[in-house]
């Protein structure tokens, strides 16, 4: 069974640009969560999607958005990039609820110059 | 705001030593998970504890969930270099679909 895949693995952007990251969950998983990981703040929850609906979101500005497609694949978008957005963005999938095991992808390393 | 504090933040020990990592919160969680993350990879789940006072063992690793479900500990016996990594605890409250991650403990086991 294939694991969670994230593309691209590495990305370099400049301030003011926007970026879209992609996550393909494990087959049969309908819940996808996104996290931002930085050395200073650790792993922080961005949002969670299930059946194309956002069920919860973390405390991030509106520049961070996401969506989920009918095949459960998910994308997150960051507009007007800032230097502080440089981070490892992790996606995790689970079958349906927070009671199910989360499986993480390898992450996308975003560097903003 | 729910927070999970882990201690210690950093730990460097010799192979064969024992260690304990703590995860504390003022909030009650429905369940708590422990993950290990290695460089360039996403966190990998080690264990989930659900019941207050629960103890789970995974080879040389022992996990305990506090009676009040606000804290947890991870004890490693006879640490090995392969145990090196970032250990993260994460709590979730039923119905929120949101995991709160701890601040992390970076462990280095020297051969």
Q: Say what the pLDDT of residue B94 is.
A: 80
pLDDT of residue A11: 97
Residues of B in contact with A42 (CB under 8 A): 88, 101-104
Q: What is the pLDDT of residue B95?
A: 81
CB contact under 8 A, A92 and B42: yes
Q: Which residue of B has its CA nearest to A89?
A: B42
Verify whether the Cβ–Cβ distance A103 to B45 is below 8 Å. Answer: yes
Verify whether the Cβ–Cβ distance B42 to A102 is below 8 Å: no
Q: How confident is the model at residue B2 (pLDDT cuts 50, 70, 90)?
A: low
Cα distances from B92 to residues A49, B35, B44, B48, B82, in angstroms, run 16, 14, 16, 11, 28
Mean pLDDT to the nearest integer, B71-96: 94
Dist CA A62 CA B85 (whole Å)? 33
Q: What percent of chain A has pLDDT over 90?
A: 88
- Contact of A49 with A55, CB cutoff 8 Å: yes
Dmax (CA) for chain A in angstroms is 39
User: Which residues between 56 and 95 in chain B have a beta carbon less than 8 angstroms from any beta carbon of chain A?
Assistant: 88, 90, 92, 94
CB B102 within 8 A of CB B21: no
DSSP symbol at B28? -
Residue A71 phi/psi, 5° resolution? -90, 15
pLDDT at A2: 79
Mean pLDDT of B105-110: 96
Q: Report residue B3's pLDDT band, with 50, 70 and 90 as the boundaries.
A: confident
pLDDT digits (tens, 9 = 90+) for B23-74: 999 989 999 999 999 988 999 999 999 999 999 999 999 999 999 999 999 9
Residue A64 to residue A61: CA distance in whole angstroms: 6
Contact A91, A9 (CB under 8 A): no
A47, A98, A103, A104: best to mutate for the B interface, most B CBs within 10 A: A98
The string of pLDDT tens digits covering residues A28-71 is: 999 999 999 998 888 999 999 999 999 999 999 999 999 999 99
Residue B81 has pLDDT above 70, yes or no: yes
The rounded percent of chain B whose pLDDT value lies above 70 is 98
A75 and A21 in contact (C-beta within 8 Å)? Answer: yes
DSSP run (H or E) holding A49: strand A42-50
Would you call the peptide bond into B8 cis, given omega within 30 degrees of 0 as the criterion?
yes
In this complex, do A102 and B104 lie within 8 Å of one another by their Cβ atoms?
A: no
Mutation to test the A interface, candidates B87, B97, B105, most A Cβ within 10 Å: B97
- At A1, the pLDDT band (50, 70, 90 cuts) reads low
Q: For B31, which residue in chain A has the nearest alpha carbon?
A: A99
Q: What does the mean pLDDT of chain B come to?
A: 93
Please report the beta strands in chain B, taking only residues with DSSP state E, as ranges in sequence order: 5-7, 10-14, 19-24, 31-37, 44-49, 55-58, 61-65, 71-76, 85-92, 99-101, 105-110
| Burial zone of A7 (CB within 10 Å; 0-12 exposed, 13-18 middle, 19+ buried) | exposed
């Amino acid at each position: 069974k294939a694991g969670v895949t994230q593309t691209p693995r590495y990305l370099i952007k400049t301030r003011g640009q926007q970026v879209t990251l992609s996550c393909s969950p494990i087959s049969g998983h309908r819940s996808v969560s996104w996290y931002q990981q930085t050395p200073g703040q650790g792993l922080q929850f961005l949002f969670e999607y299930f059946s194309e609906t956002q069920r919860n979101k973390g405390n991030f500005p509106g520049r961070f958005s996401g969506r989920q497609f009918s095949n459960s694949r998910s994308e997150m978008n960051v507009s007007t990039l800032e230097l502080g957005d440089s981070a490892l963005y992790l996606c995790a999938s689970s079958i349906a609820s927070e009671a199910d095991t989360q499986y993480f992808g390898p992450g996308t390393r975003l560097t903003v110059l | 705001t729910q927070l999970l504090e882990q201690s210690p933040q950093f730990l460097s020990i010799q192979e064969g030593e024992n260690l304990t990592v703590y995860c504390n919160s003022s909030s009650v969680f429905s369940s708590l998970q422990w993950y290990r993350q290695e460089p360039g990879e996403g966190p990998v789940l080690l264990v989930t504890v659900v019941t207050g006072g629960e103890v789970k063992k995974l080879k040389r690793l022992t996990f305990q969930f506090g009676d009040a479900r606000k804290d947890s500990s991870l004890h490693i016996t006879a640490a090995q270099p392969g145990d090196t990594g970032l250990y993260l605890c994460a709590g979730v409250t039923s119905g929120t679909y949101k995991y709160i991650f701890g601040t992390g403990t970076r462990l280095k086991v020297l051969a």
